[in-house]
Amino acid sequence: MRVLGVDPGLTRCGVGVVEGVAGRPLTMVGVGVVRTPVDAELGHRLVAIEQGIESWLDEHRPEFVAVERVFSQHNVRTVMGTAQASAVAMLCAARRGIPVALHTPSEVKAAVTGTGRADKAQVGAMVTRLLRLDAPPKPADAADALALAICHIWRAPAHNRLQQAVALHAAKATKGRPA
């Protein structure tokens, strides 16, 4: 499974591609950051993020895109920018028919470190260890994008089994009903 992780942000949008399956060693395929100038008009920044993500999709051909779920913070401006960048990533994937999964920050931290309260340094250290890298990816947005991809690879099998069970239950429930 090849997953593009996206840590959305208007100034720095972390992107990272990881390949592998749950229970086996994972491989980093690529990591980076799509940057936009702080002083640029919002529309131009969103187009730059779109072009950057499209380029990553073209180059790495992921089967899934994992995006950090936007959560409420005290700074509404930051939340809005993050949500806008997140929407661009989801749009790029949807346009290509690539499934998108949203993961909360605490879910990602728990998946890669064992605790949902891990700090950026702990996440970076575990990403480095799990992907057998020489050093933590910089900036932290890049490491977070890889952590999102790792989280998705590890959680996708359980999520798929859950979806199948729900679908099976729904099919059984409607089977006995009159048409």
Which of 7, 119, 134, 144 is an active site residue? 7
Which of 39, 41, 119, 141 is an active site residue? 141
- What's the DSSP call for residue 42? H
- Catalytic status, residue 141: yes
Please say whether the beta carbons of 1 and 64 come within 8 A: yes
Which of 39, 68, 107, 144 is an active site residue? 68
DSSP for 111-173 reads: HHHS-TT--HHHHHHHHHHHTT-SS--SSHHHHHHHHHHHHHHHHHHHHHHHHHHHHHHHHHH
Nearest Cα neighbor of 27 from 109, 133, 135 is: 133
Nearest Cα neighbor of 152 from 20, 11, 9 is: 20
- Catalytic status, residue 144: no
- Catalytic status, residue 50: no
Active site residues: 7, 68, 141
